[in-house]
Amino acid sequence: MTGFPSLRRLNVSYTLVHVVYWAMFAIFAGYQTSLLLGRGFTSGEAGIFASIRCFAGILAQPLLGGWADRHPEVPIKRLLNACMVLALGVNVVFYTTRPGFWGTALIFLTLGILELNAYPLLDSMAVQFIAAGVDMSYSLSRGLGSLSYALACVACGQQAVRFGTESLLLTHMALLVLMIAVVALYPAFPKEALQTRGGGERPHSILYILKSSRPFTLTLVSLFFTLAAIMPIVSFMVNLVSDRGGDEGHLGLALFLMGASELPAALLFTPLFRRFGAAGTLRMSICFMAVKPLLFLLAPGLSGLLLVQPVQLLGYGLFTPASVYYANANVSPADQVKGQSIMMIASNGLGAMFGNFLAGYAIDWGGADAMLGMCLAFGVIGVLFMLAAGRSKI
């Protein structure tokens, strides 16, 4: 492994990046609806803003991913930090102003382009080394990132109760500054190893990647509906908690239990991956994500809502590492960054956008349980496409 940094340095640096990123991500993922409701917007409008943020990532990820694949000489961490610096400026504007509907929509559009793009770039920073034979502990780093997410949710919940939800934007900006620092310290992929990556093969179009593997494409459709089933539960957790008599403090606790349950998944992933492979582990996670809305529907009261949060362990907790390895195994080495972007577009991008957009209106129409019923229907459709992908031989 001449030219590669030590494995210990890689794992420690990569874990720090995940820890800071997911603490930062927790603020918008868990409290954006509460923040928007506090600024006078309706649940339906909050759903539109959340969808815009996801849609922006959908537009930007393939463009940035394709550019990164065509210019491997530019370190991925440099692209990531450029996005973080610009995102910091947008957050300053959002905190210091009170824009109306269209101004807020523009800010969420920009944040989607800059901050959601970080997700596939973050994964690709590890995939580069893993594809080159470096045995990085991706699942452990991601699991510790989930623990950081959970702890941040609790801390932010208490901060919101004491200082107001608006103060969370200051914390978000501080974490952006820290994110820029830890990414700068992360080792770049050695330039001398770039020439062997992909064997000189040129990057392919998204259409070619989708046509080349029918099971891969059907799995993406499955993930679209499955993530549409669970992402609204995160975005509108404040509605679920308040519907059952909770407050901002209980919201933080609910998000903590959900996020903390992903850490054991990091330890569970390795034996499952060895036994079932990336595809089998991914299918298992799809089944548990699909059943999540049903458990929330059946949960009695606030205590029941808190007790079912750990289903995240076998659902989204396994999905995150499994999807990274699955995409890496199903696309050409020349399309590594684009492959991760496609996976993110179908799941956390299009799926989350679709689910969040409809969920806000479902809440305005029939309350929290109506939203959960809609999510359950999406989960069932996701499982059906997963079964179709498993049967496909083409």
pLDDT digit string, tens, across residues 78-88: 888 998 999 99
Give the model's pLDDT for residue 394: 40
- What's the mean pLDDT in 145-172? 86
Give the model's pLDDT for residue 224: 94
Q: Is 379 left (phi over 0), alpha (psi -120 to 50) or beta?
A: alpha
Q: Which of 36, 246, 224 is nearest to 157 (CA)?
A: 246
The more confident residue out of 392 and 394 is 392
pLDDT exceeds cutoff 80 at 155: yes
The more confident residue out of 181 and 138 is 181
Q: Which of 43-47, 189-193, 248-252 has the lowest mean pLDDT?
A: 189-193
The answer to whether 280 touches 102, Cβ cutoff 8 Å, is no
The more confident residue out of 184 and 139 is 184
- The H or E element that residue 215 is part of is helix 214-235
DSSP string, 35-56: HHHHTT--HHHHHHHHHHHHHH
Average pLDDT taken over every residue of the chain: 84
Joined together, the tokens standing for residue 377 give: 């229907």
- What's the mean pLDDT in 259-280? 85
Q: Which of 136, 93, 132, 138 is nearest to 111 (CA)?
A: 93
**1 pLDDT tier (thresholds 50, 70, 90):** very low
Q: Which of 6-15, 60-69, 225-234, 261-270 has the lowest mean pLDDT?
A: 60-69
Separation between Cα atoms, residue 34 and residue 11, nearest integer Å: 35
Where helices occur in 42-167 by DSSP H, the ranges are: 43-70, 76-96, 101-111, 118-131, 138-163
Joined together, the tokens standing for residue 30 give: 């868990």
Give the model's pLDDT for residue 13: 92
DSSP string, 358-381: HHHHHHHHH-HHHHHHHHHHHHHH
pLDDT exceeds cutoff 90 at 153: no
Separation between Cα atoms, residue 353 and residue 374, nearest integer Å: 14
Percentage of the chain exceeding pLDDT 90: 26
Give the model's pLDDT for residue 16: 94
Give the model's pLDDT for residue 150: 79
Burial label, 247 (beta-carbon count in 10 A; 0-12, 13-18, 19+)? middle
pLDDT exceeds cutoff 70 at 126: yes
**203 pLDDT tier (thresholds 50, 70, 90):** low
The more confident residue out of 351 and 203 is 351
The answer to whether 339 touches 193, Cβ cutoff 8 Å, is no
Give the model's pLDDT for residue 393: 47
Give the model's pLDDT for residue 174: 95
The answer to whether 121 touches 18, Cβ cutoff 8 Å, is no
- What's the mean pLDDT in 141-153? 83
pLDDT tens by residue, 284-332: 999 999 999 999 999 888 888 889 888 888 888 889 888 888 887 877 7
